[in-house]
Amino acid sequence: MLRLGRREFDAHEPVIMAIVNRTPDSFYDRGATFLDEPALARVEQAVAEGAAIIDVGGVKAGPGEEVSATEEARRTVGFVAEVRRRFPDVIISVDTWRASVGEAVCEAGADLLNDAWGGVDPGLAEVAARYRVGLVCTHAGGAEPRTRPHRVTYDDVMADILRVTVGLAERAVALGVPRESVMIDPGHDFGKNTRHSLEATRRLGEMVGTGWPVLVSLSNKDFVGETLDQPVKERLVGTLATTAVSAWLGAQVYRVHEVAETRQVLDMVASIAGHRPPAVARRGLA
């Protein structure tokens, strides 16, 4: 059972986490949801299309202009409070590696802290424990936040992913984070080249086998672009193919830009796997 905010999800129930960037320089939308009203409209659309989680980010993942903790909080805290007011049942996640920002957004109503940089600030898990909110434990290969990998190597990339993410998850539970609210994430592109991310996808079943719910953040990433030699806006097909494989292998939570398309892929895979009945079944029955 995965429990986040007011919601509970069984082991075979796929969950969509919709990305809402509060940055002026996002690699995907170039600041389309930086201002409050477009961002709130994005939340409304994502919820209508089937997202259970809204993931709010105040700092671009890649290199760029420095964003202080104060500025990150300014971009996220008030917005989290407004989303909480308008959408009381939605699960609010905040993508941050900073404990100080994590504390501020939890005070504002966040249900989940998405630590995409692998515990670089150990205090973030302590915040999650204190507020009894969820935590995403991600493998980033030891990279510093907002840096790109350079000739990174692993003897066995999945072995390293398992060592780091399971270790972070166990630490979080020991600190007091509810076990049913902890997820692990292989960290596609983070501290990895394209071949590493493809192998992590291919071996995702090993992460699922640990018993921790697995979150994947695949949407329009560079490993998809390099695999198919496609620019950011032409990566949807590759993203959805990777989503289908991840779903078949047992990942549960999907951090995405395109909610409606992802919902269809996840529903189709769940039906093929026998976990979901067809929405309509008339063929051959008339």
DSSP for 42-84 reads: HHHHHHHTT-SEEEEESS-SSS-S---HHHHHHHHHHHHHHHH
**Residue 6: Cβ within 10 Å count:** 10
Burial of 248 (0-12, 13-18, 19+ CB in 10 A): middle
Q: Say how far apart CA 41 and CA 169 lie, in whole Å.
A: 34
Residue with the two structure tokens 């979150």: 215
Q: Say how far apart CA 2 and CA 252 lie, in whole Å.
A: 9
Residue with the two structure tokens 């805290």: 77
> Which one from 98, 192, 221, 235 is the annotated catalytic residue?
221
276 is an active site residue: no
Q: CA angle at residue 218 from 83 to 97, to 5 degrees?
A: 55
Largest Cα span, the chain = 64
221 is an active site residue: yes
Is the CB of residue 259 less than 8 Å from the CB of residue 50?
A: yes
> Which one from 255, 263, 282, 283 is the annotated catalytic residue?
255
Which sequence positions are flagged as catalytic? Answer: 221, 255
